[in-house]
Structure 1
Amino acid sequence: MRHIVSLFILTLFIAISTSAATAATPARAASAAERLVRLPNGLTVYILRDARFPLVCTRLYVRTGSANEEPGHAGISHLLEHMVFKGTEHRPKGQVARDVEALGGYLNAATSFDKTWYMTDMPAAHWRTGMDVVKDMAFQAQLDPKELEAEKNVVISELQRGEDSPMRKLYENLQVAGLKNTPYGRPIIGYVDTIKAVTAQDLRDYVKRWYQPRNMLLLVAGDIEPDAVLAYAQKLFGGLKNSGDLPVPQPLDLTDAAGGPRVEVSRGPWNKVYLGIALPAPGLRDLRSVELDVLSYLLGGDGTSAFYRKYKYEKQLVDSISVDNMSLARAGLLTITAQLDPGKLEIFWRELTGDLAKLTAKDFSADAVRRAKFNLEDGMDRAGETLNGLASWKGAIQFDLGGEQAERNLRFTQRNVDESQLQNAIARWLAPEQARVRVLAPEGAALPDLDAILQKNWPAGSGAQKTSTAETSAGKREVVQLGQGRTLILIPDATVPYISLDLMLPGGQALLKPEQQGLADLTARLLTDGSGKLDAQGVERYFAERAAAISARAGLQTFGISLTGPSRFNADYFSVLADVFSKPRFEAKELRREVENMKSAIRQRADRPLAYMFAKLNPFLYPGGQSYGFDGLGTPQSLDGFDRKDVQAFWTRQSGQPWVLSVAGSFEREAVLAFARSLPAPERRDFAVPAPVWGRDRTLNLNLPGRNQAHLLQLFKTVPPTHPDAPALMLLQAVLSGQSGLLFSSLRDEQGLGYTVTAFNRSMPETGFMAFYIGTTPDKVEQARKGFAGIIAELKAKPLPKALLAAGSNRLLGEYLRDRQSLADRAGEAATDAVLRYPQDFQKQLLDKAAALTPADVQAVARKYLEPANAYEVTLLP
């Protein structure tokens, strides 16, 4: 996380209308698209008019989080966030989600160290409902004692689920150690005993103390009229009163912020070593943190950074390494994290600690510093691409950073970071006596004496030795047939100065033989590891210097290359994309490096239960050497057998397929046409993909010892998206899933069987399935299985209410609009539809058909597909 951008994860505005002039005071100067108004009761209202999308994002921020809690009530902020979904004075349990999702909206809430926020994303016509809901949740939650006791079990299950994720557990251990002697020295979710101890009265007292209008910000962004929003905000929130004085947070002394053992190793059911170093750092509004943002990027921000280049790329000692500066309200935390094999730990640790001990600002070239600052600023600018991103960014600027002037100060400071300031940051904050090292390691792995190595290479007290003297301007989509199997799709949108290109071809895994599993993914990885005159590091630098990104991917029966970045570099992108397509280097050393990365990814699955489960799914459903059953990563044996000739042969066949180039964003039409015509014409090596044959085995039982949760997945064979029944299956899935869905309401809210309960409909080009999923405890698997069966029986027995289907249809539409805000999403969808020969706006057509369905139509597909003869089951137990 890098400075203000991290505010999204701790999660991942001004004129006054005439009618409001007597009721509110202006907070700053006027702007045509923004308003920032403070109501008489102290509530700040921030309104952003942005008509690019027919959506409205509403956020209600409360300035309280886990750092405001009493130690005996650790986790109360997060528990309260859960409880507001369990019913309010105006809406019974489940009604909040139903009211939002029935209109096609999205509902959520989040808790961080310093704030809690409630959010809705609504179709523009229903913005008032979005505001109603966040107000209802924050101020009128029922907080029923019986519901509280049930929800405590859900939160404890969530806590235990976090224990199964090594990286999540590592970051929590680092945070608790690095900031132990501060209010940030506890996990946001709390502890089992503190969660159990919270009473309904505790929650009411907490709300009374912290949920005061003057301690809050209401942000409304989207296709709205500011006058109407401000008037409605005054109606909803203007009558709220403040209940008392709020404590003023005191500055934190970070001299002794860290606590606990300097090095601590935890053993668990891991295959890899997960290692981290935590160092206390300045808070968000302390501009010294900006120097650490730049330093973090230089050390581990991207593929050109010092630690990535040395430990990941050159020496191949780690699977991943990153350096992050997390800035909180009153403090921060600088972390260095790495994932690696146990056998490589000693040499990595010796070199890393030695590098930290001798690190100076002179180690970084002027070009590297410039590149780091450019990419950090680009991360801020790019937030406005989507409405949700814009709302999150503007909310963070106003609520956390302090407003526009603070943002200007931040940007100015960042642009002017120089060698002297970097050296000061290294000397002041990379203090070995404050460093806390936390390690998760496999149960039986032999480990070196990390503490002794640390003390020898980077002893406490040595740090001082390093000190030295918007209105939319989107155009219509255009499809240009260039002939010879070449299609160009143009999606102009100049609302943000970026471009996204997606070059898509049929192929991918469908071109492989069973013994070639992994070859398509390996080729995709190698395509961006060097082309033309650029080697792998040259490609990294090329795109980092332009704040751009390129990637390639192999799907079930498609292959794509994507590129996105600031549009002022369009000519550069065209040049390098042409080289990637026509002149890939496929160097032997890069091939071996990527093979090792893929083998490592295969091993990592065992550390992530859901990833492990889904990796086993396709081979189980489609056995016998069918392409739909291939593992995209292949096997260690198949990967070890590949050489440059194999990759080149695959790419020759793959690149000879008909292609579609989709371009979205800000561009010159003729320049794009010229580029598209310059790309090689396909050799028209079309191929057919047979419909996959489903396996005869109906159950798959998996085990991962040492975990806390069980995972149950039931699947029912369905149809591809082109089938007439596809719209009804989509609608059925929408009714089943979501916080107001039938599965969530029954299995989670009523029975408390698990933290995550959902349904999803996977519709592939040649087949499909409907899936029911729950993460629960091992003793409740059978009850969850019966719960699924009960819901299915009800679906078959009687038609669903029309209102429920209307809500499901609105939810599908809302998701569709939200998912297509970014340029990359729009370019990717257009290219994929064209390659798979779907009509333009195919997904929207399915949604329109779903909206016209009757309860009898949906009941018919439930009876047809949710049958035992169509069912498969996967269970993952500890």
Structure 2
Amino acid sequence: MEATAKNSDYIVNKVVEKKLKNGLTVLFYPYDREDVVTVKLCVKVGSAYENEKQAGLTHLIEHMIFKGTETKKPEDIVGTIEALGGYMNAFTSFDYTCYYATGPAKILENSLDILSDVVFHPFFDPKELEREKEVVIEEMKMRLDNPHVVLWEEVMKASYQKYPYRRPIIGYEETVRSFKREDLLSFVNQFYTPENMVLSVIGKVNQDRLFALVDKYFTNLPKRTLKKVKFPKEPFTEKPRLVWVERPVKEGYFALTFPGASFKDEDAPILELLAEVLGGGESSRLYVRLKRDLNLVKTISMSAFTPAGPGLIEIFGTADPEKFKEVLSQLITELEEIKDFGVTEEELKKAKVKLLSDFVFDAETSEGLSSTLSAFQLNRGTYKDILWYKKKIDEATVEDLKEAAKKYFDFNKMVGGFLSEKRLFTEEYLKNLISVKKEKTIKSFSLENGLKVFIYPRKDLPTIGITLAFPGGLRFETPQTNGLFQALTLIWTRGTQKYSAEEINFKLESLGASIKGFSGRNTFGIKALSLSSNLEETLELFKEILLYPTFKPEECEKARPELISMLLMQEDSPISLAVTQFLKILFSDHPYGLNIAGDQRFYQSFNSEDLKQAYQRFVNPNKGVLTIVGDVDPFILKQKLETILKDWKPFSAPFSEEEEPKLPSQRFQKIKKETFQNQILLGFQTPGLTSKEKLVLEVLSSALSGQDGRLFRILRDERALAYSVTSFTVFYPKKSAFVLYIGCSPEKEEAAIAGFWEILEEISQNGLTQEEIERAKNRLLGKLKLGLQSNLSKAEDMAVNEVLNLGWDYSQKYETMLKSLKQEDIKNFIKTYLQKDKAVLFILGK
């Protein structure tokens, strides 16, 4: 960077500037690398200075300039330079036109002589003009065969409402054919004036000789009056626009633009940095995301068009047309992410090196240096603004780029252009895609080891919740291993190859973080809570616990009393004990009937090796889902995860899901226990959690339970049979359970059971009322929203739902799915599954 900066200063300091009396600006740079010279004469007039009828006139003049002067034939112009070992050429842009010669230093005088003559004394022979018109029209047709050019011109036309950049530089066939010699001469007389030009000479030439030659060839010039042009103010579009070119092509092409900045604006260097970060190469953000990660595009690039007038931000690429919708959606997501989180320091540093190093590389050739000096002189008014540009790049911060993204990535002003064999969507689709208001963008991807990752940025608080979940838990246990996952997840975080349990706890508490294992009926894993300021350290500990647990025998011994304590507390709670026994009957001889708290025989006998084997079998990345919710930058976090989890390899291991449970053979059981109340449970096997009936079951349970539910209202309020009465569900993949519960005095047992059947019979015959259903839906939604307030609860919800094949966004879709549920669905469910001959009754008590 220092070398680049020094070189930029060195360039500016070596330039010799001279202004002739007629207004011509001359820039000389003594180039010493080789015995060469580049002489460039630029006129500050391009296609933007034309009106509609003049479209293409500037470009045609550029062609005709070399076709002869009042004293020189065509072969005396380019041929003279080529005979000396050099070459001549020219180009037309929106804002200026340049004519130049480059070659050995000995072409200096001939170049000055010829450039002065062709620019100030062109002849524009009518016959040559007619021939050259045909050449230009052939050039137009050649461009029409280039899909990139065709799409670019259509997108420019849509991107600019008033500014003349909306017209192609080359013009139109009808306008070019209409031009006469007088039109060319008139235009030259209006704009080809010395004060409207810059002559740059970069070469190994003597300065005194150079300026003597400049005086010789550029002093006595024709008197011309410069025409002033007033450019319109560009409003840009106020709504998203779609451009579609239908062509019989093999490839699909796309281009997106946003209003940008002029090179005269202070934002121009910042936008060039932003474009470099996002689409400047194969390590750029868009290339990595859309090409490498998602394989949506074949090519993609981004650039900042910063001319003298209003500029654009441009994204170009190629992709299979059937992927256009996904490409568009992902591009919007990525740009929104930049607006929210900005770029990284590493990305900014890389972009700075690239842009500033261009000055170094340009300085290697006289032609490159000539282009740099001329561009700054024409667009900014002085070549010295190279230092302004360098300073802006040097001092740019990640916050500057983030603010620029917020300012310029305005999707209401976006133009989307596509070229393919046929149109695949409408402008309305584009508008709808942009107008969809998402709470926040979820970024999802898979690591090389198969681990699914979902990142949900929430920037309102500096906290982060992390959950890593796998299939497992009670449904993968047997009577002999009942409690395995409770033991595994308890001891998992109590010691690694690097740290003891005490050291882990100390580090976590010092960070204000936590990492715990969890185990349920269907899944297990580890979860973490961290402050965003300490995420890096928390992730390192998370990795250490995930990949290198030791399950030391002494930790197993310390944990054994804790695990057994869960069972003892269960024994002391009649409700917990009753639920456990009820499920044992409902799902007899099946893992679903095992005790979620485990089994004392297993807790007394398991050892370190049992846990290691379970870890090796079930902690497999290609079965896992990692969710991270909170104050994070998804792009940085993705890179971090790819680094810290690169050594976690997937493996093949026997992994078969549980069989579907059979219907229970035993329908009634009563266990005597000295309690003050009898615990009564009446329940049924119902479809599993991925079935369409899941929502019906939840609404039914919600309608019956709660203080406004039928069970409470009839059995408690009206009949005073109990204090506690409710219904609940237990979900498993293959089957679930729907249970009615009441705790009452032994003498009220018969009345309570009769009350259950009375309510079931009533809803079986008549269903639930619409009011009950709506109340039940509202209760479910309220409970869901209350349960997802914290980042950790959101992360756990997403991970578990994805592991269970419900989809990470199940909770987001839950309200919509609930709304589609009808009264008849519930009635049919009751008649199908809640029949007396399918019921199981369990009583615990006197």
Q: TM-score, normalised by structure 1?
A: 0.47
Query: Which protein has greater RCO, CA pairs closer than 8 Å, 6+ apart?
Result: 1
Q: TM-score, normalised by structure 2?
A: 0.49
